[in-house]
Amino acid sequence: MTMNFSYQGNAARIVFGLGASADVGRWLAELGCKRALVLSTPHQAADGEALAKRLGGPAVGVFPGATMHTPVEVTERAIAHATELDADCVVSLGGGSTTGLGKAMAYRTDIPQIVIPTTYAGSEVTPILGQTEGGIKTTLRSPKVLPEVVIYDAELTVGLPVAMSVTSGLNAIAHSAEGLYAGDRNPITNMMAADGIRALKEALPVIVEKPQDMEAREKALYGAWLCGTVLGQVAMSLHHKICHTLGGSFDTPHAETHAIMLPHTIGFNAAAVPELLQPVSDIFGGTPGQGLYDFAKSIGSPMALRDFGLSESDLDRAAEIATRNPYDNPRPIDRESIRSLLQDAWEGRRLPL
Ligand code: NAD
């Protein structure tokens, strides 16, 4: 690659540290905010309430209604609740679903956001918003949705179940792996991608053995931040396109779908651009597809789409949808090759490559 590139960093303040979430009040004050609405999923409602209690005065309420796929009607309810309480910012505590709700509110109202991520999805550092209306999922990019402050506090991730830590971590690795061959990649995103993948590769096996290991939890969050940053800065292709198709049209679960597809999509593209995926080979050993497959298996990831409600007869339609609109990918794609790749992922087969 030449040194002819353009790089735009996003302006969010990133705060790292064990116990750093105790400082939310300080960051609220920096933003000039006095009335925070805490957002969470129903599952993390108690954590949201505890955070609001710790915040004291500046927390005016909790909206524990965040849900998968950011439905517009939930966003509208959350905005109505924020208006009722006269909230002047949101504090999103949770994974991509909760972050998505805060971003959807900011898109419509410009409300400032502080995000405290508790998974490795990476949405908190991207200008991307996916939302659903009438069952249709649409995705947009806007700097308006970027959170102002992101607080990475590994103490809040020790409760992330091991199975979710594994799939969420592989979801993060997917952002960086695709970033390595993105047409608009640059030396900074390449550096972040390789470092992010390495951090997760080192952290995840330790988390599987010892979910409370704070050093590993911190390293995984660090990797997640880097991988999310890559996702937010360069274009994604085959892998994200297929996962979007499977999640959007067949309702397969987000992180699990990414985890299962990763060795297959990256293995497919490695045949065209092995030199760009060299960092993946260096980190996992072997070819990118096999290295990722063996790693995912070794940490107990789900390996087959057939275990997630997708029937073999769905694969034809999935291949058709995923190849309907052309997009940039380092290896040319056609319906037949994608159908065959999906068959391998459906069966959970290790690539011969
Ligand atoms: P999630 O936010 O849907 O969380 C899944 C479940 O795990 C929820 O019930 C949540 O409350 C719970 N959970 C989260 N953290 C926990 C913890 N530490 N301990 C216990 N339970 C916890 O899952 P996700 O994978 O983080 O996010 C997926 C969503 O994010 C998808 O809708 C995806 O499209 C979106 N996403 C968006 C972007 C973007 O840039 N816009 C990037 C990545 C993901």
pLDDT tens for 38-80 read 999 999 999 999 999 999 889 999 999 999 989 999 999 999 9
The pLDDT value recorded for residue 2 is 62
For the CA of 255, the closest atom of ligand 1 is 25
Mean pLDDT, rounded, for 264-282: 98
Return the best residue to mutate from 10, 38, 40, 97 for the ligand 1 pocket (most ligand atoms within 8 A of CB).
97
Ligand 1 centroid, distance to 271 Cα (angstroms)? 32
The pLDDT value recorded for residue 353 is 55
Ligand 1 centroid, distance to 330 Cα (angstroms)? 29
Q: pLDDT > 90: what percent of the chain?
A: 91
Return the best residue to mutate from 10, 21, 38, 44 for the ligand 1 pocket (most ligand atoms within 8 A of CB).
44
Q: Indicate which residue's Cα is closest to atom 29 of ligand 1.
A: 96
For the CA of 40, the closest atom of ligand 1 is 11
Ligand 1 centroid, distance to 42 Cα (angstroms)? 12
- The confidence band for 326, taking pLDDT boundaries of 50, 70 and 90, is confident
Is residue 103's pLDDT more than 70?
Answer: yes
- The confidence band for 184, taking pLDDT boundaries of 50, 70 and 90, is very high
The set of protein residues with a Cβ atom below 6 angstroms from ligand 1 is: 41, 43-44, 68-69, 94-98, 100, 118-119, 121-123, 126, 128-130, 157, 159-160, 168, 231, 254-255
Whether the CB-CB separation of 242 and 260 falls below 8 Å is answered with no
Q: Indicate which residue's Cα is closest to atom 19 of ligand 1.
A: 160
What pLDDT digit, counting tens, does each position of 114-172 carry?
Answer: 999 999 999 999 999 999 988 788 899 999 999 999 999 999 999 999 999 999 999 99
Ligand 1 centroid, distance to 97 Cα (angstroms)? 5
Q: Indicate which residue's Cα is closest to atom 4 of ligand 1.
A: 95
From the number of C-beta atoms within 10 Å of its C-beta (0-12, 13-18, 19+), residue 3 rates as: exposed
Ligand 1 centroid, distance to 127 Cα (angstroms)? 16
